[in-house]
Amino acid sequence: MSETPLLQLDNISKFYGSITALTGVSTQVAAGEVTCVLGDNGAGKSTFIKILAGVHQQSEGTIRFNGEQVMFDSPRDALDTGIATVYQDLAMVPMMSVWRNFFLGSEPTSGIGPLKWIDTKKAKRIAKEEMAKMGIDIRDTEQPVGTLSGGERQSVAIARAGYFGAKLLILDEPTSALGVRQSGVVLKRIVEAREQGLAVIFITHNPRHAYPVGNRFLILNRGRSLGSFHKSEITVDELTQKMSGGAELEALEHELHGSGATS
Amino acid sequence: MSEQDTPTDAPSDVVTTSAIDASDSLAPAADERLLYRSIFQRLFIRPEVGAIIGIVGIWTFFWAVSETFGTVGQTFGWLDTASTVGIMAVAVSMLMIGGEFDLSSGAMTGAMGMLIIYLVKETGELGGRGFPLVIAIPISLVIALGIGYINGFVVERTGQPSFIITLGTFFALIGLKLGLAKRFVGQIQIGRTDEAADFDFFRLIFAAEWERNTHELEVRDALYIGFIALGFAILALAISELWFQRREKMQPAGLVVFFVGVGLGVGGLLGLHATDGVGANAALVAVMAIGGFVGLFGWATWRYEPSVDHGAMSLDSQMRRRVGLGLAAMVLSFIVAIVFDSSSTHQIFFPFTTQGVRVILYLVFAGIGIGLIAMASQAALSVNAATKFVVTSVFALALGIVALTVFVDSSDTKFRGSLFGVVLAAAVMVFVWAVLTFRFAERRTGSASADRFGARLLALGSVLLFVGIAFRMLFITAEELVAGVPPAKTSVRLLWFILFTIAMMWVLARTRLGSWTFAVGGNKEAARQVGVPAARTKTQLFMLVSVAAWFVGLLVAFRINSIQANSGDGQEFIFIIAAVVGGTLLTGGYGTAFGGAIGACILSIPAIGISSARWNTDWRFLIVGVILLLAVVSNKFLRNKAEGIRR
């Protein structure tokens, strides 16, 4: 853990009218570390991301990025600061090719004055190289993103965020729609991003995905923080228990064993 | 399920990472599942493929049923309509790729034409100022941009469907056109553009004409045949380059054969130019064809890996049945063609004459025959080289029977000459292809350099064909003048249409605006999230459509010199239909500019075709409707097929 974390959140709260979506959440993430945000449905994970991504603004609390207090007015604002968010529904255009998606919004151009064209050769080469760094060999960068598997799409999004100089990568439930092997691929990408010195916030409801890759765990339940733990302070079983409201699950497990529903 | 994927009790990163590493084998595994898609499969899934098939079909249909369709004059006729429709259709295609509609685009063309005339006209204190065109044209351009901007601005601000917003603009424009015309000139027609002081200069830009009969070029036919033959030859080389596996080490002996073939081809061509007898012509065409085959074979021997394992021919029962029934149907079609009296116009029952029944029966039998054999050869592709060779040859034979039938039993010289020639050439080409694919190994892996070289040859061949046809259409020979070929003329608007289409193809393929157009139409939220200025992009597309409408308005104002207040109203649907026929998806995110241009041509052919077939021109609406339905169904089918190949 470094001395000043890249992102420091203190007592973040968010109210939608009379509804409290998030109260008093604090955590931090440092460069080269993964902070996992865990919580069941309705725990406030989405609100948490949207505040960091600049979609919503917090009602209370402070966000410090690199030690400076910040407030994001728009997604572009957050992006320019160095926070890239990879959404669950993926910011990709399925009918467009891999390289166009990779560079969408930031295409490299050549040409003079108003007559600018995309340097397609360069764009294709870089897209291929960056994907190769992620361990995915895209033979034809012209193929539409819609033909890639879910894990590969996540990888394109992660590679894109890294290439465009994101310092903090927020991944919204990247493994939730994926099978076992594909989830493995995405977890590996997270580890790689971390090793390249990026700070990562990994949002998930699956502690078994979070624990192996995370350095710090923020557990949310019904809009409240159940604490932010360093990996040394918690085991995966404790994590699972805290997340799901422990006792209830244990009771359920006993019940199931008792009735012979599991073998 | 996924809980078992990663160890739950991993205390350190080392163990964890290595556990995840196990999934690393995924990437190559996923690659193996990715089949090699040849460039033809990739071409086949382009959005405009359906439109290209469509234009060939509809052109052939009208060529067959009418006396004069297909002559240079008639071709210039439908190209002229296609030019104005096409400029709009290309712009509208781009807007639709961006996920929006513009129902005001038709009314806007008329409005812009009227605006120009108002500006150059001196109608007293209320009306125009009598500006010269050099001032009037920029003013009208700014106003056009303004209308497009308003459309885009309102759509973006309200978030309402552009369909309804531009419907409002549509009615507003209609009202303005009628109201202002009555107010200023007291009638719904306004003229004239040529009152402007500098009319003659701008007329050259917007309405210059080319009279074919005043441009004589003696060597035209030599140039025409030369370019066409060279074009086809290069196309054949391009397809081979894309299709076959290159050798590690080239075989120079093949190159010698290649040049022998080229020599034969050139010799045949020169001979053809020098002689005039029909018999000699046929012989020399045969020499050229043999030259082409020898050259292609030599080229292939030089460059491509020979095929080694041909396997033994094996036809399963279904294939055997299809080939047998198919050949039987072909023979039957031949008999049908000779038995019926082709010169009889006796009506068997309304509306069919003997001739009509003969044609229908013939088409049914020949269609069934060709279809069955085509299905068999499709199935044979996946068996082995020997089987493929045999079945493809049978397919060539079936085409040969069609050519023979056309030749021995057609009353019309048009069919006896052109159709016979085309079908026979097709039969020969299929057979040559069967020989080549038997002899040489097909490429099964991606090769960037072969793809690039092949694509360049493909482009070069297409350009040569285009140049050849252009010579044929733009110039006349002394012989034709003596024979009294009817005059034909074309206008500079065709050139503008071609240039605009190419420019927009480039914009879509190579610029940020193009990329962003696909993005905002395909997934607007995603585009916005990665920083694409979605609102600005869509507004620019609306402005593109209004600028196209301005340009088309100018073309019309310069052509007919006066504009009716209802000019262009209702055309917006034609533009949208052209875009859809060209393969653009109504829901956005998918389509091409080229498709829109082809769509415009498809819609322009019936009007000319029907009148040259001497039918009632009201039938054209029926034809447009049927084309649209066919296009929607077949584009959907092609897209599904495309996605099937992709996955």
How close B541 gets to chain A, by Cα (Å)? 17
Entry field: residues in chain B:
647
| A93/B523 CB distance under 8 A | yes
Query: What residues in A contact B644, CB-CB < 8 Å?
Result: none
How close A240 gets to chain B, by Cα (Å)? 11
HEC sequence for B462-507? HHHHHHHHHHHHHCECHHHHHHCCCCCEEEHHHHHHHHHHHHHHHH
Residue A11 has a pLDDT of: 86
Q: What distance in Å separates the CA atoms of residue B601 and residue B352, rounded to the nearest whole number?
A: 31
Look up residue A83 and give its two tokens: 């926070």
Which of 119-158 (A) contact B at CB < 8 A? 120, 135-137, 139-140, 142-144, 146-147, 149, 151-152
Which residues have CB under 8 Å from B80's CB, separation 6+? Answer: B490, B491, B493, B494
Which uninterrupted H or E stretch holds B395? helix B385-409
Q: pLDDT (tens digit, 9 = 90+) per residue, A3-17?
A: 578 888 888 888 888
CA angle B451, B452, B453 (to 5 degrees): 95
How close A101 gets to chain B, by Cα (Å)? 8
Residue A107 has a pLDDT of: 86
Q: What is the interface size between A and B, counted as CB pairs within 8 Å?
A: 140
Give CA separation, A19 vs A23, B398, B571, in Å. Answer: 11, 76, 52
Which of 32-91 (B) contact A at CB < 8 A? 34, 37, 42
CATH of the domain at A30: 3.40.50.300
Q: What distance in Å separates the CA atoms of residue B155 and residue B529, rounded to the nearest whole number?
A: 20
Q: What distance in Å separates the CA atoms of residue B633 and residue B639, rounded to the nearest whole number?
A: 10
Tell me whether A213 touches chain B (CB under 8 Å).
yes
How close B526 gets to chain A, by Cα (Å)? 4
Residue A150 CB neighbour total at 10 angstroms:
18
| A182/B26 CB distance under 8 A | yes
Q: What distance in Å separates the CA atoms of residue A254 and residue A257, rounded to the nearest whole number?
A: 5
- Asked if residue A257 belongs to a domain, the reply is no
In chain A, the number of structural domains is: 1
Q: Strand order in A168-172's β-sheet?
A: A68-70, A60-65, A7-16, A19-29, A224-230, A216-221, A34-39, A199-204, A168-172, A83-86
Mutate to test the interface with A, among B20, B537, B540, B592 (most CBs of A within 10 A): B20
| B4/A175 CB distance under 8 A | no
- The half-sphere exposure of B521 on its side-chain side, counting CA atoms within 13 A, is 29
Which residues have CB under 8 Å from B442's CB, separation 6+? Answer: B243, B244, B245, B307
**Amino acid symbol at A122:** K
Give CA separation, B254 vs B21, B299, B300, B304, in Å. Answer: 51, 6, 7, 10
* A-chain residue closest to B591, CA distance: A95
- Asked if residue A158 belongs to a domain, the reply is no
* A-chain residue closest to B9, CA distance: A236
Give CA separation, B339 vs A138, B332, B342, B358, B556, in Å. Answer: 61, 10, 9, 9, 53
Residue B150 has a pLDDT of: 96
Q: Which one has a higher pLDDT value, A38 or B141?
A: B141
Secondary structure class of A142 (helix, strand, coil)? coil
Tell me whether A111 touches chain B (CB under 8 Å).
no
- The dihedral through the CA atoms of A171, A175, A177, A182 has a sign that is positive
Look up residue B14 and give its two tokens: 């080392």
- Asked if residue A226 belongs to a domain, the reply is yes
Mean pLDDT in residue range A168-179:
82
Nearest to A76 among B26, B531, B647 (CB): B531
Secondary structure class of B428 (helix, strand, coil)? helix
Nearest-Å Rg of the Cα atoms of chain B is: 29
| B510/A184 CB distance under 8 A | no
Which of 12-51 (A) contact B at CB < 8 A? none
| A180/B5 CB distance under 8 A | yes
Q: What distance in Å separates the CA atoms of residue A185 and residue A131, rounded to the nearest whole number?
A: 13
Which residues have CB under 8 Å from B275's CB, separation 6+? Answer: B281, B284
Q: What distance in Å separates the CA atoms of residue B251 and residue B258, rounded to the nearest whole number?
A: 11
Give CA separation, B175 vs A171, B178, B183, B413, in Å. Answer: 53, 5, 12, 54
Which among B41, B42, B95 has a CA at the least distance from the CA of B520?
Answer: B95
Q: What residue has token string 């993926």?
A: A90
Query: What residues in A contact B1, CB-CB < 8 Å?
Result: 180
Contact between residue A169 and residue A201 where contact means Cβ atoms under 8 Å apart:
yes
Q: pLDDT (tens digit, 9 = 90+) per residue, B426-463?
A: 999 999 999 998 889 888 777 778 888 998 999 999 99
Residue B440 CB neighbour total at 10 angstroms:
22
Q: State ipTM.
A: 0.78
* B-chain residue closest to A161, CA distance: B530
Q: Are strands B209-211 and B189-191 parallel, antiparallel or unpaired?
A: unpaired
Q: What distance in Å separates the CA atoms of residue B380 and residue B375, rounded to the nearest whole number?
A: 9
Tell me whether A91 touches chain B (CB under 8 Å).
yes
Residue B85 has a pLDDT of: 96
Secondary structure class of A204 (helix, strand, coil)? strand
Residue A248 has a pLDDT of: 62
| B526/A91 CB distance under 8 A | yes
Q: What distance in Å separates the CA atoms of residue B618 and residue B601, rounded to the nearest whole number?
A: 19
Look up residue B350 and give its two tokens: 């309304």
Q: What distance in Å separates the CA atoms of residue A130 and residue A163, rounded to the nearest whole number?
A: 7
| A212/B647 CB distance under 8 A | no
Which among B234, B645, B254 has a CA at the least distance from the CA of B463?
Answer: B234
Which uninterrupted H or E stretch holds B292? helix B278-303
- Asked if residue A86 belongs to a domain, the reply is yes
Look up residue B547 and give its two tokens: 């600028």
Q: pLDDT (tens digit, 9 = 90+) per residue, A98-135?
A: 999 999 888 888 887 777 899 988 999 999 888 887 77
Distance from chain centroid for Cα B175: 37
- Asked if residue A180 belongs to a domain, the reply is yes
Q: What distance in Å separates the CA atoms of residue B390 and residue B377, rounded to the nearest whole number?
A: 9
Tell me whether B445 touches chain A (CB under 8 Å).
no
Query: What residues in B contact A163, CB-CB < 8 Å?
Result: none
Going by the DSSP 8-state scheme, the letter that residue B441 receives in this structure is P
- Asked if residue A258 belongs to a domain, the reply is no
Tell me whether A173 touches chain B (CB under 8 Å).
no
Q: What residue has token string 């533009």?
A: B575
Secondary structure class of A40 (helix, strand, coil)? coil
| B589/A120 CB distance under 8 A | no
Tell me whether B526 touches chain A (CB under 8 Å).
yes
| A184/B23 CB distance under 8 A | yes
Domain that holds residue A22: 7-95+165-235
Residue B17 has a pLDDT of: 38
Query: What residues in B contact A87, CB-CB < 8 Å?
Result: 529
Distance from chain centroid for Cα B125: 50
How close A191 gets to chain B, by Cα (Å)? 7
Q: pLDDT (tens digit, 9 = 90+) per residue, B160-184?
A: 999 999 999 999 999 999 998 888 7
| B16/A213 CB distance under 8 A | yes
- Asked if residue A144 belongs to a domain, the reply is no
Residue B74 CB neighbour total at 10 angstroms:
22
> Which residues of chain B fall below pLDDT 70?
1-41, 123-129, 276-279, 341-353, 410-411, 641-647
Q: pLDDT (tens digit, 9 = 90+) per residue, A176-235?
A: 777 777 788 788 888 888 888 889 999 888 888 888 888 888 888 888 888 888 888 888
Mean pLDDT in residue range A257-263:
53
Q: What distance in Å separates the CA atoms of residue B446 and residue B443, rounded to the nearest whole number?
A: 8
Which among B628, B601, B621 has a CA at the least distance from the CA of B83?
Answer: B601
Instruction: Give buried/exposed letters for B21-38 (b at 16+ CB in 10 A, else e).
Output: eebeebbeebeeeeeeeb
| A144/B646 CB distance under 8 A | yes
Tell me whether B308 touches chain A (CB under 8 Å).
no
Look up residue A206 and give its two tokens: 């699956």
Going by the DSSP 8-state scheme, the letter that residue B562 receives in this structure is E
